[in-house]
């Protein structure tokens, strides 16, 4: 049904009540008083809700309409024939109060003044003042009214209304157009060639509402034959009957306040993820009354987490009057973090993930989760886990715990995932949490070896001959005699030892002081060949690889050292001690206290005789580090 049709349906129903209210006021006072104006507003003006994808909510909305229709263009239209003197005088005397009351409520109001008489009079219709915001000009136009003419009972009212609807008044395009018409006699029909139907059509086309003040009884005077009733019903106006001549101005003001307005919520801007609806689609109420709506806000399924907006303008009679509502919809987001844990050597260690909601929700939020293998494989590396997380209203964080299985196998760090799915009440922003199982087993082993005497590869006393891995070992021999052609070596009280701390590297994580040590010792040694005799006192050699603090962690440090208590060459004593020394000989060279260090090892040799006949080493100790298959470049100081 059109807006004008709704007005026609309601106007007759309201006219009797308005007239009763007006008569009550007239009985109390004859002074035009501006009643308190209701503030025009939307409640709530800002709506902020939190909804999940596919969810919706309803909001009760009220729009308090202005007590006087907004931006009014008000035309005072008077029957100024001879019988209207008293009514004209009342309106003239109280025009200032009427315009003041309207301007107080609607400062943008404009006013026009027009009058009509009858055919054969000096004029049938004229405009005394076109639209103006100047109350003095309005007063001057009304002061131009003089009762006169007429003669027969019907007047030219229908013609006057037709002329106003057809452009005699320069209405503003965004004004609420109201004609306040008062008189005590019906109109000719047709009047100046225009029928009642013509006048109604012109008024409706111009969207003009008519407030009719009948200075006469219902069914008589202005409304004889039902003319006024038909006009106000067709234009959404108000009819007030039985108005005394000295109360016309008050009746005009009361009639303006009783004019109905239609409020229509209209979406002016909206993110495509939202859908807004209103019930009813529009509502018609008396000016100053409350128009109530139920607003439904819905979020499309599949909407990503984020904040979305819709703007609604509650139009009054099809025009924007600044009654704007802002809707803000938060769609919460779910995410899961990444976790890294050290596996341990036995049992299980909890890997606790946090599922987070980026904002509290007023409704429960649920999301499913499940683990999946990566380089880590269940059940050997972790326990497969699945379930549902539920956030109560207001909660924003929930734990998901996955047991990680400990072992003593050196291996690379491994990963598995926890994946979120099937969220209810929120959108998933980060669906996958990565669990990293950090291997805490050592990335390598120590090696160690000690040899008391080595003559052309013959070693009678060796500790840990396998070298890798280092193990505790101790070997000893009272004496030995070895020959290499013309060269002979005799030694007494030979010993070699190797030691590792801790004995079992898999029993504990790397720690400062973990080490491998090799030691070799010979109490006395004699080396003889043609023209040369070398006599050695106590010879000792030691080499070690030790874990030491480095750069926030641990790294292997290598050290070696040796001592020679005494040295005689062909009976001549030479002081040696522990410093490196090379002595040239006719048959070669004698190197003492030599240390050879690489990035991964240390070898300490107390005595090395290089000759063309044979090579002899007295007191050799060696220590180094090795990686594993998983960590070829690793060492026992890291894990």
The CATH number of residue 364's host domain is: 2.60.40.2030
CB contact at 8 A, 377 and 420: no
pTM for this predicted structure: 0.67
Lateral strand order in the sheet of 72-79? 125-132, 110-116, 72-79, 176-183, 208-214, 238-240
Residues 419 and 506 in one domain: no
Quick one: three-class SS letters along 177-246? EEEEEEECCCECCCECCECHHHHHHHHHHCCEEEEEEECCCCCCHHHHHHHHHHHHHHHCCEEECCCCHH
Residues 425 and 519 in one domain: no
Number of domains in the chain: 3
CA distance 152 to 155: 8
Is residue 265, in this structure, part of any structural domain at all? no
CB contact at 8 A, 36 and 283: no
Contacts of 107 (CB under 8 A, 6+ apart): none
Is residue 597, in this structure, part of any structural domain at all? yes
CA distance 65 to 283: 11
Q: Give the pLDDT confidence score for residue 18 in this predicted structure.
A: 40
Residues 79 and 156 in one domain: yes
Low-confidence ranges of the chain (pLDDT < 70): 1-40
Q: Give the pLDDT confidence score for residue 178 in this predicted structure.
A: 97
Comparing C-alpha atoms, which of 535, 542, 547, 529 is closest to residue 610? 529
Q: Give the pLDDT confidence score for residue 17 in this predicted structure.
A: 40
Comparing C-alpha atoms, which of 279, 406, 262 is closest to residue 346? 406
- Structure-token match 């890798």, residue found: 468
pLDDT tens-digit series, residues 199-225:
999 999 999 999 999 998 888 999 999
Alpha-carbon distances, residue 241 vs 116, 187, 429, 482, 507 (angstroms): 20, 16, 68, 146, 107
Residues 195 and 121 in one domain: yes
Q: Final residue of a domain: which of 386, 403, 438?
A: 438
Residues 406 and 450 in one domain: no
Comparing C-alpha atoms, which of 102, 68, 70 is closest to residue 257? 68
Is residue 192, in this structure, part of any structural domain at all? yes
Mean pLDDT over each residue of the chain, to the nearest integer: 91
Residues 434 and 583 in one domain: no
Angle, CA of 328, 332 and 337, to the nearest 5°:
150
- Expressed as residue numbers, the domain containing 168 is 3-33+70-258
Is residue 592, in this structure, part of any structural domain at all? yes
Q: Give the pLDDT confidence score for residue 215 in this predicted structure.
A: 95
pLDDT tens-digit series, residues 26-75:
333 333 333 343 345 899 999 999 999 999 999 999 999 988 888 999 99
Pairing status of strand 339-342 against strand 386-391: unpaired
Q: Final residue of a domain: which of 438, 473, 493?
A: 438
Residues 451 and 431 in one domain: no
Please give the DSSP secondary-structure letter assigned to residue 155: B
Is residue 249, in this structure, part of any structural domain at all? yes
């Amino acid at each position: 049904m059109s807006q004008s049709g709704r007005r026609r349906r309601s106007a007759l129903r309201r006219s009797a009540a308005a007239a009763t209210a007006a008569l009550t006021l007239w009985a109390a006072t004859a002074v035009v008083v501006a009643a308190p104006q209701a503030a025009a507003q939307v409640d709530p003006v800002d709506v902020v809700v939190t909804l999940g994808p596919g969810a919706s909510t309803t909001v009760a909305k009220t729009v308090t309409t202005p007590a006087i229709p907004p931006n009014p263009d008000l035309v005072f239209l008077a029957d100024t024939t001879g019988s209207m003197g008293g009514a004209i005088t009342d309106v003239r005397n109280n025009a200032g109060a009427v315009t003041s009351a309207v301007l107080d409520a609607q400062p943008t109001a404009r006013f026009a003044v027009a009058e009509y008489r009858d055919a054969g009079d000096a004029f049938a219709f004229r405009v005394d003042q076109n639209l103006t915001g100047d109350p003095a000009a309005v007063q001057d136009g009304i002061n131009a009214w003089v009762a006169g003419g007429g003669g027969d009972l019907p007047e030219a009212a229908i013609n006057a209304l037709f002329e106003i609807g057809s452009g005699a008044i320069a209405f503003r395009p965004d004004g609420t157009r109201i004609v306040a018409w008062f008189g005590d006699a019906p109109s000719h029909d047709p009047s100046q060639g225009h029928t009642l139907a013509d006048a109604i059509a012109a008024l409706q086309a111009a969207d003009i509402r008519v407030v009719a003040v009948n200075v006469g009884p219902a069914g008589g005077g202005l409304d004889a034959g039902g003319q006024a009733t038909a006009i106000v019903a067709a234009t959404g106006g108000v009819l007030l009957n039985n108005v005394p001549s000295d109360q016309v101005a008050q009746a005009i003001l009361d009639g303006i306040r009783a004019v109905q307005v239609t409020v229509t919520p209209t979406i002016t801007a909206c993110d495509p993820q939202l859908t807004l609806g209103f019930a009813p689609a529009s509502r018609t109420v008396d000016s100053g009354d409350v128009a109530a709506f139920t607003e439904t806000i819905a979020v499309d399924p599949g909407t990503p987490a984020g904040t979305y907006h819709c703007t609604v303008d509650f139009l009054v009679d099809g025009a924007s009057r600044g009654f704007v509502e802002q809707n803000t919809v938060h769609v919460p987001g779910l995410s899961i973090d990444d976790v890294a844990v050290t596996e341990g050597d036995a049992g299980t260690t909890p890997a606790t993930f946090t599922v987070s909601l980026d904002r509290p929700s007023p409704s429960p939020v649920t999301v499913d989760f499940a683990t999946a293998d990566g380089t880590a494989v269940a059940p050997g590396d972790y326990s497969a886990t699945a379930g549902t997380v539920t956030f109560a209203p207001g909660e924003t964080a929930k734990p998901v715990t996955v047991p990680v299985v400990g072992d003593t196998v050196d291996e690379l760090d491994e990963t598995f995932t926890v994946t979120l799915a099937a969220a209810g009440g929120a959108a998933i922003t980060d669906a996958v949490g990565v669990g990293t199982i950090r291997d805490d087993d050592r990335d390598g082993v120590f090696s160690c070896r000690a040899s008391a005497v080595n003559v052309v590869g013959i070693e009678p006393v060796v500790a840990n001959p396998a070298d890798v891995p280092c193990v505790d070992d101790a070997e000893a021999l009272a004496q030995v005699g070895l020959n290499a052609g013309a060269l002979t070596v005799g030694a007494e009280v030979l010993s070699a030892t190797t030691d590792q701390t801790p004995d079992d590297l898999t029993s504990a994580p790397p720690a400062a002081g973990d080490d491998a040590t090799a030691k070799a010792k010979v109490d006395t040694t004699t080396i003889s060949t043609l023209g040369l005799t070398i006599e050695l006192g106590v010879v000792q050699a030691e080499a070690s690889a030790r874990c030491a603090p480095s750069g926030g962690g641990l790294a292997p440090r290598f050290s070696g050292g040796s001592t020679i208590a005494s040295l005689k060459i062909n009976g001549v004593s030479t002081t040696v001690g522990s410093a490196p020394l090379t002595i040239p000989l006719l048959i070669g060279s004698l190197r003492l206290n030599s240390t050879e260090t690489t990035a991964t090892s240390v070898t300490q040799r107390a005595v090395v005789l290089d000759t063309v006949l044979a090579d002899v080493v007295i007191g050799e100790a060696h220590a180094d580090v090795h990686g594993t298959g998983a960590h070829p470049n690793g060492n026992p100081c890291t894990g």
